[in-house]
Amino acid sequence: MFKPILSSTLVTVAVFAPLMFVGGMVGELFRPFALTMAFALGASLIVAITIVPALSHFLFRKNLYGEKKVKEHKEGGRLAIWYKGVLAKALNHKIITSVIAVLLLGGSLALTPLIGFSFMGSEEEKTVYLTYTPEAGELEAETLRNIEEVEKELMKRDDLDIVQISYNNKASTDMSAIMTGGAKGALMYLIFDPDMKDFPEVKEEVEEYVFNIDHSGEWKSQNMAMGSMSSNEVSYTLYSEDLDDLNEAVSQVGDALKDVKNLKDVTSDLENPYVEHVLHVDQQDVLQYGLTTAQIVGALANTGSEEVLTTVENDGEKLDVIVQREAKTDAKSIDEILETPIPTALGTTMPLSKLVSVEEGTTYNTLARSEGEYYSAVSGTVTTDDVSAATTEADKKIDKLDLPKGVTIGVSGVAADMQETFTQLGVAMLAAVLIVYFILVVTFGEGLAPFAILFSLPFAVIGSFVGLWIAGETISVSVMMGLLMLIGIVVTNAIVLVDRIIHMEREGMSIRDAIIEAGATRLRPILMTAIATIGAMIPMVFGAGGAGLISKGLAITVIGGLTSSTLLTLVIVPIVYEVLSKMLKKNRREVVED
């Protein structure tokens, strides 16, 4: 039994090995998990070949040295006898059995559009982050009163479990200040009942309440859950050398996204442009009044200067006493600015309008350039679990747009994250299969057995996809991780079966007899392994786990995939092994005869 134990451990470790060399976000996310699994499996191997045999010798000593002689061999019971009959029929009807298995596999793959795709899974963290930023000049007592009012109102909700408030009353640049939305303010952290079904509607209701409340300060809702990995934001970045063309393209894309069914809060960073007035100074013209451009700018300075007069101590805390000089102008419009009197060197004043010319234009809150081009992002929030369906619909609408010449568009946000992550995980899974095959070839000393063993892998998809469809989960990063785990688990069961077949063949049994005997003998350990793994995953299915790597989606994937692959491994792998064995022996016989 040492060979199957060693092989099983090596292939399971090999499954996670590619993740250790994946870079970027995927590597950062999965590398600790892969290392943990590898070291844990290495430790379990040592325990299996040292401590377990020692304990078995001690605990089963009575049977070993007692008067009663242990039977050399005993059938596995009614289940094993029944399985031998099923296996014999399957081997006698290989084509029918194989067609049924392929149809089941095809049917499960056909469920993909119904299951859908998302990034971090269908589980959502039922939390809301609200920030309150006081109005300039707002007293601390009024700020606290506003926060307390909102807290009391929200606490009336039956679906709200926890309300946590952080208040920052000092101007600073530390993390608490950033979280509270500025130099001063508050962060309100709301945790709702994890079993509630209508969280999106409740979140929208809470936001509508705080946004429309009559407070001097400003309430905002923040998304602080694991950055873009947990955000269902679809974003498109547009590039152009011409700012007007970029603005037109942003407008077209924004209008198109607003028509997408499961997309809301469509915004762009070119929204809300404001009017800009540029004051041009003719230096030769103002020199006749003894003025320079710098003097005019100084006369228009709208910020008073501050200086620390002294420092006082209050309750052990030092406070600076600041003298602030009054600003020179407090204009509310461009007309008022142009009426500002400017002192001249002649001792008189002249209105600014006589000294400058005004050019009116439009500017934006943010304007970014990359490699000589302007660029802007248009984004929206997906309101459904199936992110891929919303992004596909958005892509179709954008493809139909007639964007200005020279404007290029790229995908970002969760769609880009999904594409990158799923691609890297797919490559990691392919590499894992190749590494597993290499290890099996070295271990068994031939290519036939490993090839038959790998035939058990595709059928893990059947149970996984059916389980996800029934549970209403989407194909996500955690599901991909579950499929990666299944490669090691499923192959382990097949190794146990094929190793016994080869052993019985070497003892002189025919292929058919060896397969049936190995199936009956190895049925119990295969089922025990599968049932133990499934039992360990069940609490995750019914638990209150949130979104993340270890989640409900991963558990369902492993449980469903292990169930279907175990059942089919006990039938398909023997069929493949017998067919390949007969073909190879036939070819060898023909070569010898020639």
Q: How far is CA 202 from CA 126, 151, 387, in A?
A: 10, 16, 21
Structure tokens at 404: 């200005």
Query: At a CB cut-off of 8 Å and minimum separation 6, what does 184 contact?
Result: 133, 134, 143, 168, 169, 170, 171, 177
**Going by DSSP bridges, is the β-strand pair 373-382/233-240 parallel, antiparallel, or unpaired?**
antiparallel
> 322 is written with which tokens?
């600041």
Question: Contact, 322 vs 307, CB < 8 A?
Answer: yes
DSSP string spanning 6-68? HHHHHHHHHHHGGGGG--HHHHHHHHHHHHHHHHHHHHHHHHHHTHHHHHHHHHTHHHHHSSS
* Domain made up of 274-363: CATH architecture: 2-Layer Sandwich (3.30)
| Rounded Cα–Cα distance for residues 271 and 222 (Å) | 19
How would DSSP label each residue in 461-473?
HHHHHHHHHHHT-
Residue type, 591: V
Architecture category of domain 2-120+417-593 in CATH: Up-down Bundle (1.20)
Dihedral sign for Cα 6, 12, 13, 15, please.
positive
List, in order, residues 6 or more apart from 144 with CB less than 8 Å away: 167
Q: Cα–Cα–Cα angle for 250, 233, 217, nearest 5°?
A: 85
- Measured CA to CA, the distance from residue 555 to residue 485 in angstroms comes to 11
**HEC sequence for 173-211:** CCHHHHHCCCCCEEEEEEEECCCCCCHHHHHHHHHHHHH
Burial code (b: 16+ CB inside 10 Å, e: under 16) for 530-548 equals beebbeebeebbeeebbbb
Which part of the chain is CATH 3.30.70.1430?
127-224
Q: Which pTM does this prediction carry?
A: 0.66
Residues of the chain with CATH 1.20.1640.10: 2-120+417-593
**CATH class label, 127-224:** alpha beta
Output the CA torsion sign for 23, 428, 426, 487.
negative
**How many other β-carbons are positioned within 10 Å of the β-carbon of residue 151?**
14
| Cα 470 from Cα 468, distance rounded (Å) | 6
**CB contact at 8 A, 17 and 484:** no
What is the spatial distance between Cα 86 and Cα 570, in angstroms, rounded to a whole number?
Answer: 10
Q: In three state form, how does the secondary structure of 113-164 look?
A: HHHCECCCCCCCCCEEEEEEECCCCCCHHHHHHHHHHHHHHHCCCCCEEEEE
For the chain, residues classed under CATH 3.30.2090.10 are: 274-363
User: Tell me, what's the pLDDT at 103?
Assistant: 92
End-to-end CA distance of the chain: 39
Q: Are 252 and 401 in contact (CB under 8 A)?
A: yes
Q: Residues with Cβ < 8 Å from 402, sequence gap 6 or more?
A: 252
User: Angle, to 10 degrees, between the axis of helix 2-16 and the axis of helix 413-444?
Assistant: 160
Q: Which residue in the block uniquely carries the two structure tokens 């069940």?
A: 538
Q: How far apart are CA 426 and CA 7, in angstroms?
A: 23
The pLDDT of residue 594 is: 40
Task: Please give the distance of CA 418 from its chain centroid, rounded to a whole number.
Answer: 8
Ranges of residues in the chain with a pLDDT under 50 are 64-65, 67-74, 171-182, 225-230, 303-305, 327, 544-548, 587-594
Closest C-alpha among 547, 553, 548 to residue 485: 553
